[in-house]
């Protein structure tokens, strides 16, 4: 959050933060999440850390993918874009696992040369509602996990599921080397992507960190977390059996 003298909390200061559900979700799998400050040496962090999670938040700025904002409210945050793109490129260069959530999924697409719909309701009028401020993460819709995809293998008994939806932007042109893993129903908006090859680079448009065991109607988040942490463990050459047992028991 950039300096804002009208803000009640720390007016005029830059705030760097993580929404608590993201680190708690990672902690549940045995990971130790660290917040990477802006303005630091991205390559040093990529060398010393095991993986990167790009969380949700402000719109990706249209200027970041070569467009002009169609509305002032959709101008996004180019400063955050540059900070996260530097981190993403550094982790990609190191061949380390990357998971992009919501904005993180969109940024991954842009980093690899793709573009975004700045506003689904405007640019795809036939699309279903993907964001409702009043409902927030209680807005749910159907998603199709494409057969033979990485997500399809994670959820072998589930082809259609329900997910939360908190976005008004989405992938338009797919970035180089990316493949589609899931689409919303019935409008076919892209909901998940991955990078081709053995390297674990996954983007998902929904928020798995908001899904708990009490959300029985939603796609469970544990398989996604386990797959990410397995990729991290594989990169480190460590075993995950104890963590997997604990998570599956939840």
**Residues carrying an active site annotation:** 102, 207, 209
Per-residue exposure over 52-63, b if at least 16 CB sit within 10 Å of its own CB, e if not: bbbbbbebbbbe
Backbone angles phi, psi at 117, to 5 degrees: -75, 125
Length of the chain: 250
DSSP type of residue 74: G
Q: Which residues contact 82 (CB under 8 A, 6 or more apart)?
A: 64
CA distance 204 to 104: 8
222-236 and 241-248 helices, crossing angle to 10°: 170
Residue 204: count other Cβ atoms within 10 Å of its Cβ: 24
DSSP type of residue 129: P
Q: Are strands 178-184 and 116-117 parallel, antiparallel or unpaired?
A: unpaired
């Amino acid at each position: 959050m950039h300096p804002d003298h009208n803000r009640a909390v720390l007016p005029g200061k830059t705030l760097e933060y993580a929404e608590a559900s993201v680190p708690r979700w990672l902690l549940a799998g045995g990971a130790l999440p660290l917040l990477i400050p802006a303005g630091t040496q991205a390559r040093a962090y990529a060398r010393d850390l095991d993986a990167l999670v790009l969380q949700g938040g402000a719109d990706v700025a249209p200027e970041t993918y070569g467009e002009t904002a169609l509305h002032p409210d959709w101008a996004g945050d180019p400063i955050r874009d540059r900070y996260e793109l530097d981190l993403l490129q550094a982790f990609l260069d190191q061949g380390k696992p990357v998971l992009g959530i919501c904005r993180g999924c969109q940024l991954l697409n842009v980093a690899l040369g793709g573009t975004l719909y700045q506003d689904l309701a405007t640019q795809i009028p036939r699309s279903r509602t993907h964001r409702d401020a009043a409902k927030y993460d209680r807005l749910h819709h159907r998603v199709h996990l494409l057969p033979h995809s990485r997500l399809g293998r994670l959820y072998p008994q589930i082809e259609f599921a329900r997910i939360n939806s908190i976005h008004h932007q989405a992938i338009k042109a797919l970035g180089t080397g990316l493949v589609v893993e899931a689409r919303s129903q019935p409008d076919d908006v892209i909901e998940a992507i991955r990078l081709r090859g053995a390297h674990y680079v996954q983007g998902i448009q929904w928020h798995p960190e908001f899904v708990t065991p009490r959300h029985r109607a939603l796609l469970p988040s544990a398989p996604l977390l386990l797959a990410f942490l397995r990729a991290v463990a594989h990169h480190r050459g460590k075993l995950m059996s104890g963590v997997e047992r604990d998570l599956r028991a939840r």
